[in-house]
Structure 1
């Protein structure tokens, strides 16, 4: 009887841990970081800071995208957002390491950062939580993602200073 209770308790514990882990990933996989700057200043800071990392392979593989204009052009109402620009940030060397390990990972590249001004006038940067995502991987993919996370932290220090 004690063995059945122990097995049942272990099963309930494992299920609870699994549910908590799933909830963590669902709520933390994408970060929304408040910017101390307004929308235009945040965009200018990103455009200034990313090229400062070009010697280590970072850059914009293509132009920023005025995503809000897509909504305007199609008469789609997004009441909580006033402005929305997406930047595509990439380090091709790190991307190649990941893709060479698992070709399907190309589907999540390059990193995208969405700068948005919400209806309350505050500005945020939304991006994937690379550090949390790295926990789902091992080997070369995990190492590359942790390098991205480390560099992004330095980028954000400069963007917000």
Structure 2
């Protein structure tokens, strides 16, 4: 009986260790971009988001934001935000506490090998962890939509259609062009942050 109990305990501990090691990697999905630069990749993602009926609320230039605080980053990093109002409403009506994880976003960055990568949360797995409406919306429809958008934006066919030149800034999105520019939403946040520091 004691040996049986020890065996169960060992199994539980082993499962916990495996989950601890494996889950972090499962929560993030990383794809290599077929485009040469972070900016080109962000442009293609932003266009695809809008084409699919979602909203690209901002493309946040993390390098420029850090530089305002006197911090220089080694490689370019951007955050591409995307939102679907109907999906957001369904989730927030059921579980407003998950607003801390919204809107959805993809990270776009240059890797150590010089190639460009796109990272995102594994929405299917995350939805399953929460269950209920979150599993139905975020783990279902949202996960499917994001997969479709990434497939299209980062496909070789899409790359072949690209002119390999940056498009003109879209005033409705405030898309950044290079390290010195920020989206409108990012600029507003930085301005608010500066004001709060001044007030203190």
TM range (shorter): 0.7 to 0.9
CA contact (8 A) 2:42 2:59 kept: no
Q: Report the RMSD for the aligned CA atoms in angstroms.
A: 1.6
Distance 2:69 2:29 in 1: 27
What TM-score do you get using the length of structure 1 for normalisation?
Answer: 0.86
Residue 47 (structure 1) aligned with residue 46 (structure 2):
yes
Q: How does 1:58-137 map to 2 (within 5 A)?
A: 58-60=54-56, 62-79=57-74, 81=75, 83-137=76-130
Unaligned segments of structure 1, at least 5 residues: none
What TM-score do you get using the length of structure 2 for normalisation?
Answer: 0.70
CA contact (8 A) 2:63 2:72 kept: no
Distance 2:83 2:20 in 1: 28
Stretch deviating more after TM superposition (105-114 or 31-40):
31-40
Distance 1:68 1:119 in 2: 16
Q: Please list every run of at least 4 consecutive aligned residues from structure 1 whose deviation after the TM superposition is greater than 4 angstroms.
A: none
Q: How does 1:138-153 map to 2 (within 5 A)?
A: 138-145=131-138, 146-153=140-147
Distance 2:17 2:72 in 1: 34
* Length, aligned pairs only: 153
